[in-house]
Amino acid sequence: MRDIILALPKGVNSSGVVAQLTEHRWNILCVASCRQQLLDALKTAPKAVVILSERFENATLHSLMRTIYRLHPRANLILWTFSLASALDFKYRHPAIVGYYYRTVETQELLRGCQIVALGQRFASPYLTKAFKRYRNYKDDSQIYAGLSIREIQIFQMITGGITVAEIAERLVISRKTVNTFRYRLFEKLNLKSDVQLAHLAIKQGLIEPQY
């Protein structure tokens, strides 16, 4: 099975992905421009590999994910992410996602991801593979995480990944005031005073890599 459904914002990146996949004999069934077009294509070809950008239908993407997996529990979906915090957020909220690309993806990685997911296996770009492992190990072993609620862990991951309060509120469908309540609770529990100190803690624990 070498069928592909694409749901990427229009532009150079989308055109390049189409060209690379076509050149390597993947059958592009649809380049969806809206939610309904994507769902219709999946209904016709439920076993196709779907490459979905986190910037596609951005405001309602989590809702779209829930709909996809309600209708197609074993969808072969690869999510194209652009920040670690975003990737962690989707992995936490939608564990059925089987593949992840991260930022700029070379042809070899693009094809390998499609091939692996088409075989029913999980795939993630190398950077995300390492990051997911760090967070998984830390969550299992850390006394810090043991003292946090599920929502606090989620917001900790998003803040240390560089997502703003406004963006967190939008993604979690809660108010900025509620996000800040969780932030201050994190500061109190971890004996910290700022987002910068949260980031330093994450770097110290090996959860994220420092940006130079």
Looking at 71, 101, 129, the residue that finishes a domain is: 129
Residue 137 lies in a domain: no
Residues 120 and 162 in one domain: no
Residue 136 lies in a domain: no
Residues 122 and 199 in one domain: no
The structural domain count of the chain equals 2
What pLDDT is recorded for position 121? Answer: 96
Give the residue numbers spanning the domain of 66: 3-129
Residues 153 and 107 in one domain: no
User: pLDDT tens across 99-121, in order?
Assistant: 999 999 999 999 999 999 999 99
- Work out the burial of residue 49: count CB atoms within 10 Å of its CB; fewer than 13 is exposed, 13-18 middle, 19 or more buried: buried
What pLDDT is recorded for position 69? Answer: 95
* DSSP E strand stretches across the chain: 3-7, 27-31, 49-53, 76-81, 99-102, 123-124
Give which of 20, 141, 39 is closest to 5, Cα–Cα: 39
Residue 53 lies in a domain: yes
What pLDDT is recorded for position 182? Answer: 95
| Low pLDDT (below 50) residues in the chain | 212
Residues 157 and 109 in one domain: no
What pLDDT is recorded for position 106? Answer: 94
With contact defined as beta carbons under 8 Å apart, do 163 and 174 qualify?
A: no
Give which of 159, 157, 152 is closest to 207, Cα–Cα: 157
Residues 146 and 123 in one domain: no
What pLDDT is recorded for position 212? Answer: 44
- This prediction's pTM: 0.79
Residues 122 and 146 in one domain: no
What pLDDT is recorded for position 31? Answer: 95
Residues 119 and 51 in one domain: yes
Residues 31 and 97 in one domain: yes
The CATH number given to whatever domain includes residue 21 is: 3.40.50.2300
Looking at 73, 95, 129, the residue that finishes a domain is: 129
Looking at 72, 101, 129, the residue that finishes a domain is: 129
Task: Tell which phi-psi region holds residue 35, choosing left (phi > 0), alpha (psi between -120 and 50) or beta.
Answer: alpha
Residues 150 and 175 in one domain: yes
Residues 105 and 176 in one domain: no
